[in-house]
Amino acid sequence: MQHRPVYTRTAVALHWFIALLITAGFTLGATMTDLHMSPRKLKLYSYHKWIGITVLGLVLIRLLWRLTHPAPPDEPMPRWQRIAAHVTHWLLYLLMIATPIVGWLYSSASGYPVVYLKLWQLPDLVAKNKKLADVLVQVHGLLAWTLFWVVLLHVAAALKHHFFDRDATLKRMLAWQRP
Amino acid sequence: MRRHSPWISTIALTAAFVATAAGDPTIDASKSSIIATFRQESVPVDAALKKFNGRIDYNAAQPNAAKAALEVDTGSLDLGSTDYDAEVRKKAWMDSGTYPKASFISTSVKPGPTGHFDATGTLTLKGKTQTLTVPVTVGKAGSAMVFDGAFEISRAYFGIGDKEWNDVVDDKVKVRFHLVE
């Protein structure tokens, strides 16, 4: 049997690690804001910010990797599905970069700088400005929820290809063993 | 328009200049700032004290005769977030309801190099007092005197903040001031 091309190991590792971080970061972000003011709440906010910054860094690496190591060719599928898949992928990249950056902007505008892993204080992207912060937090939430729906679409499409079309779309991203 | 003689103008200008140089020792709160910086999870957070008043009597010729008295509204602490602002006014923190004012009254001044002095005085906060020596730099903004300095206090000493917060919020709080007369 002829081996089909798969994603590189680096791309596979980055994909699943980022997926895990986004799930954790999104869950934290969606729940922490409603908590009562407490030391735990402040800690969760810190973790949320660290996760976001990690995602931002890893996605930039992933993007560089993708631009230098092309994805395997598409499985045979209708044209509209191929277009939809590619639009979804680039939309995911865009949202994975924009969501943490707007979160960082929001942190700066609120006057609470990000101190990554309690070790490195990131530069403030904008000066403290309450009105701007109120807008940025809305945009951050909107981007995160858009990311949520696009991820859901991405997962649904992967499962459709795997279980209904029975093609190798998902396997390309699961293959650790190089063919 | 009536023309003044040059002499009268000169006298008027000189008088105005002398009046400004002597200065009004009252602090102009609109141009001044007092900012407390605390660290939570290693994140430095600036909290401005928005309402304060006081006066600094300072004469460069006799710096050791300088006097300072300041009063701050503890309820005016602004952390830039409604949640934190509500938390910090509670009994466990600033307890602004019981202790609406904090103050610093100088007791002695030790002149340093030109433009510097150390002000020793009593800080009263949340019903407790502490003697502090604060290094102050004197400058000028136009005709106004400007005093800049910073000092550190311990939350624990003044009983500010619940114990449960101690592993998240540092004990030391740095207070910076920029006071313009």
> Which three-class secondary structure string do you get for B90-111?
CCCCCCCCCCCEEEEEEEEEEE
- On chain A, the residues whose CB falls within 8 A of the CB of B85 are none
Q: Do A110 and B84 touch (CB under 8 A)?
A: no
- pLDDT of B17 > 80? The answer is no
Select the residue of A39, A118, A128 nearest B164 (Cβ to Cβ): A39
Residue (of B177, B115, B135, B126) closest to B154 by Cα position: B126
Residues of B in contact with A115 (CB under 8 A): 41-43
Give the pLDDT mean for A132-139. 96
pLDDT(B93) > 80: yes
A111 close contact with B: CB closer than 8 A = yes
3-state secondary structure of B51: coil
pLDDT value, residue B23: 58
> Cα–Cα–Cα angle for A117, A123, A127, nearest 5°?
125
**Which of A37, A111, A115 is facing B46, going by the closest CB pair?**
A111
Q: Which of A38, A113, A130 sits opposite B43 (nearest CB)?
A: A113
Ramachandran class of A56: left when φ > 0, alpha when ψ lies in -120 to 50, beta otherwise = alpha
pLDDT tens-digit series, residues B77-92: 998 888 888 888 889 9
- What are the boundaries of each domain within chain A? 9-174
**What angle, 0 to 180 degrees and rounded to 10, lies between the N-to-C axes of helices A130-159 and A9-32?**
130
Nearest CA in chain B to A38: B165
> Nearest chain B Cα to A132, which residue?
B80
Which residues 113-132 of A have a C-beta within 8 angstroms of B? Answer: 113-115, 118-119, 121, 128, 130
- CATH code of the domain in which B108 resides: 2.40.128.110
Of residues A39, A110, A115, nearest to B168 (C-beta): A39
User: 3-state DSSP call for residue B84?
Assistant: helix
Q: Is B133 a member of any domain?
A: yes
Instruction: Inspect the interface and report whether the beta carbons of A42 and B83 lie closer than 8 Å.
Output: no
Average pLDDT, chain B: 87
Asked if the structure places residue B48 within a domain, the reply is yes
How far from A160 is each of A81, A85, A169, B162, CA to CA, in Å?
Answer: 11, 12, 10, 53
Query: Is B2 within the bounds of a domain?
Result: no
Chain A interface includes B5 (CB < 8 A): no
pLDDT digits (tens, 9 = 90+) for B149-177: 999 999 999 999 888 888 899 999 999 99
pLDDT of residue B19: 42
Residue B171, in any domain of the structure:
yes
CATH class of segment(s) A9-174? mainly alpha
Looking at beta carbons, which residues of chain B come within 8 Å of A123?
A: none
A134 interfacial to chain B (CB closer than 8 Å):
no
Q: Of B148, B150, B101, which Cα lies nearest the Cα of B129?
A: B101
B81 within some domain:
yes
Under 8 Å between Cβ of B37 and B173: yes
CA A9 → CA A3, A12, A71, A175, B15, distances in Å? 16, 5, 12, 8, 82
Q: In this predicted model, what pLDDT tens digit does every residue of A15-73 receive, in sequence order?
A: 999 999 999 999 999 999 999 888 999 999 999 999 999 999 999 999 999 999 988 88
Contact between A115 and B42 using a beta-carbon 8 Å cutoff: yes
Q: Which residues of A touch B86 (CB under 8 A)?
A: 37
Q: How far is A58 from chain B (nearest CA, A)?
A: 23
Instruction: Compute the average pLDDT of residues B57-70.
Output: 89
Does residue B11 fall inside a structural domain? no
Residue B10 is assigned to a structural domain of this protein: no
The one-letter code for the residue type at A42 is L
What is the distance in angstroms between the Cα of B43 and the nearest Cα belonging to chain A? 6
CB B29 within 8 A of CB B51: yes
Task: Name the burial class of residue A172, with classes exposed (0-12), middle (13-18) and buried (19+) by CB atoms within 10 angstroms of its CB.
Answer: buried
Interface contact flag, A110 B83, Cβ < 8 Å: no
Residue B35 belongs to a domain: yes
Is A39–B165 a contact, with Cβ atoms under 8 angstroms apart?
yes
Confidence at B1, pLDDT banded by 50, 70, 90: very low
pTM of the model: 0.82
For chain B, how many structural domains are there in total?
A: 1
Touching check for B98 and chain A: CB below 8 Å?
Answer: no
Q: Give me A21's structure tokens.
A: 């971080």
Tell whether A46 is within 8 A of chain B (Cβ): yes
Q: How would residue B11 be classed by pLDDT, with cut points 50, 70 and 90?
A: low
Cβ–Cβ gap A42/B86 under 8 Å: no
Range of the domain at B83: 24-180
